[in-house]
Amino acid sequence: MVVRQHRRIVILVAVVVGLVLVAGLAYLGAGLFLYDQISRVKSGCAGRFATVTPANLDYRLAEDDLAGSLVIRFPLAAYRMPEYQEVSFPSRPDERFPSVTIRAWWIPGTRSDAPAVILVHGRHSCRKDWTVTIPAAMLHRAGFATLLIDLRNQGASDLSEGPTQGRYYGGLVEYRDVLGAWDWLIAQRGLSASSIGLFGTSMGGATVIYAGAHEPAVAAIWEDSSFADTERRIAEEIDQTFGGPVSLIAPAGGIVAPLVAGVDIYGETPLSDLAALRGRSLFIVHGEADQVTLPHHAVDLYRRAQESGVRAELWKVPYAGHTWGVVVDPVQYEQRLVAFFGARLR
């Protein structure tokens, strides 16, 4: 009798352990699927941006696309930049990931010693996107030099090697591309660190925050429509796509990413990096109608920045969707952008 009872207990324990293992493997499998879907990006920048250069800003956007209709009515001719150069440089070296070649447009300022701003696009995009070319043109009109870069695995820049090839990591790997641009401006253009600012839109906003946190000489950062907390942003994206309790798999993506690519995507966030920006300047822009990266992310960043001693400003653009502030209110955008960098860069 005792032996039978013991066998039943052993069988029950084995069944429970088996179920736990199966559930665990299923959860990790879901995390792997999530990681694969969210981190994957396409290189190149074809489609509607195929013929765009700083000299023509030749956007052909769908008429039924709200952002596109705004840009179609936007006075693009006044923002063209005919004098530009194709340049390339290595990303800043990293002990974990090999350096890659970054390609960019260098647009000189009105003076040889003009301050410069590095502009960084978002996910599934490139330097040809109007979310970076129009701000670059606004700065150019005010005399600034600008450097519009393609992040690794996107645009014309090289693909990463190994497991990060064709992937985007929310800026945690890509910030090295921004710092490669920073190093190039100092070494090849003779600029001082105090005369270089950073601009990023969407996930490019998170990327420039990371870059500033890892380079203490960065004086000023402008971020437009960034997320604050990575895991929360991914959970919200899952909710927006699938709805229901599916967002419970968001933590699994954070478990899988370090195993597959050696990147702890939740270990460092724009929110956590604000402490490293203490005493420096950060301008936060976010559309009040943003349904992609919800507006609370801007508020979260601003509050943490204030607590961390960052000289932060927050502008919530009425009626603007994700990254649309620059075309919804271009006059205010240009005035604020030029004034911010004009006051902080030598």
Q: Are 122 and 131 in contact (CB under 8 A)?
A: yes
**DSSP E strand boundaries for the chain:** 85-90, 101-107, 116-120, 145-149, 196-201, 220-224, 281-287, 311-317
Q: Token pair 């290189």 is at which residue?
A: 43
pLDDT by 10s per residue, the chain, length 346: 555 565 665 555 444 445 445 444 555 565 566 677 777 887 777 677 888 899 988 765 444 445 555 555 667 778 889 999 999 999 999 888 889 999 999 999 999 889 999 999 999 899 999 999 999 999 999 999 999 999 999 999 999 888 888 888 999 999 999 999 999 999 999 999 999 999 999 999 999 999 999 999 999 999 999 999 998 998 888 887 766 665 566 676 667 777 777 888 888 999 999 999 999 999 999 999 999 999 999 999 999 999 999 999 999 999 999 999 998 999 999 999 999 999 999 8
Report pLDDT for 62. Answer: 42
204's torsion region: left (phi>0), alpha (psi -120 to 50) or beta? alpha
CA neighbor of 174 nearest in space, from 145, 131, 214, 229: 214
Our measurement of the distance from residue 226's CA atom to the centroid of its chain's CA atoms, rounded to an integer in Å, reads 7
Label residues 103-125 b or e (16+ Cβ within 10 Å = b): bbbbbbbeeeebbbbbbbbbbeb
Q: How far is Cα 87 from Cα 147, in angstroms, rounded to an integer?
A: 9
**Secondary structure of residue 155 in the 3-state scheme:** strand
Report pLDDT for 23. Answer: 47
Q: How far is Cα 129 from Cα 300, in angstroms, rounded to an integer?
A: 27
Its CATH class, for the domain covering 43-229+269-344, is alpha beta
Q: Which ranges in the chain are annotated with CATH 3.40.50.1820?
A: 43-229+269-344
Residue-wise pLDDT for 204-219, tens only, equals 999 999 999 999 999 9
Q: How far is Cα 343 from Cα 346, in angstroms, rounded to an integer?
A: 8
> How much is the mean pLDDT over the chain?
86
Q: How big is the chain, counted in residues?
A: 346
> For the chain, first and last CA: distance in Å?
87
Q: Are 114 and 139 in contact (CB under 8 A)?
A: no
**Secondary structure of residue 269 in the 3-state scheme:** coil
Kindly tell me the number of DSSP H helices and DSSP E strands found in the chain: 11, 8
User: Looking at this protein, which amino acid is placed at residue 314?
Assistant: L
Question: Residue 283: beta bridge partners?
Answer: 222, 313
